[in-house]
A and B are shown apart, each in its own frame.
Chain A
């Protein structure tokens, strides 16, 4: 099972702000490992959206932002646009498992 917990779905109207949580434990996020976020559209390659908790790779709009606190992290999308409708998942590393770990995934719907 995916080790990091995310809400199955979030929705918002165009222009609104939505947030997605990613909850882990003391062996992954709480141990200080970075959290990374990805956007995944059907039939396409997942795209790195936020690297190392809050860094946006080149080309990622600044309406996407990340944060981390304790054993959790969050992805915020401000000024929601129709093209943001996709699945989003988080990723970190777990020292007990000795593996990369992923979130359960969140489907964002633009109303």
Chain B
């Protein structure tokens, strides 16, 4: 059974960079033919897809966040990561990682249980 688990600081200061990692177990990212993405749930915007990375390393970002978001993959550790720069209070919320089979119109078939991130000085 595939499992995903998010990890990272629960508190980030305004203007700094939020960095989270998703560790995948029960299956390999390398050669998986799947996309690996980040979704967040915030009080102001509800659920919001932030971006995804294909197992080969190609990235896809939400257009409005493209300047601040970077997603990378480390297949040797079976992990993928999110960096969100210049955070504000609006970036606080629960961050989820998930797997999806396609990039347009696909479902998200496996999710992590989420990690709460607060933004405060």
Q: Are B47 and A45 in contact (CB under 8 A)?
A: no
Taken residue by residue from 90 to 121, chain B's Cβ proximity to chain A (1 for < 8 Å, 0 otherwise) reads as 00000010100000111111111110000000
In residues 69-105 of chain A, which contact B (Cβ within 8 Å)? Answer: 89, 91-93, 97-105
Q: Which residues of B contact A38 (CB under 8 A)?
A: 108, 111
Q: Which one of A57, A98, A100 has the greatest number of beta carbons of chain B within 10 Å?
A: A100
Which chain B positions have C-beta within 8 A of A104? 46
**How far in angstroms is the closest Cβ of chain A from B42?**
10
Residue B48 is within 8 A (CB to CB) of chain A in the complex? yes
Is the beta-carbon distance between A57 and B105 smaller than 8 angstroms?
Answer: no
Indicate if B69 sits at the interface (CB-CB under 8 A).
Answer: no
A99 touches B107 (CB 8 A): no
Known contacts being A97-B63, A98-B63, A99-B63, is A48 close to B47, with CB within 8 Å?
no
Most chain B C-beta atoms within 10 Å of own C-beta, residue among A33, A45, A57, A105? A45
Q: How many of chain A's residues have a CB under 8 angstroms from any CB in B?
A: 28
List residues of chain B with CB within 8 A of the CB of A45. Answer: 4, 96, 110-114
Which A residues are in CB contact (< 8 Å) with B4?
45
A residues less than 8 Å from B111 (CB atoms)? 38, 45-47
Interface residues in B, total, Cβ within 8 A: 23
| Binary CB contact string for chain A from 42 to 61 against chain B (1 if under 8 A, 0 otherwise) | 01111110011000010000
Does chain A have a CB within 8 A of B45? yes
- Chain B nearest CB, measured from A5 CB (Å): 10
On whether the beta carbons of B46 and A36 are closer than 8 Å, the reply is: no
Residue contact B105 to A2, C-beta cutoff 8 Å: no
Closest-CB distance, A86 to chain B (whole angstroms): 14
- Distance in Å: Cβ of A87 to nearest Cβ of chain B: 10
Which residues from chain B contact A98 at a C-beta distance below 8 Å? 62-63
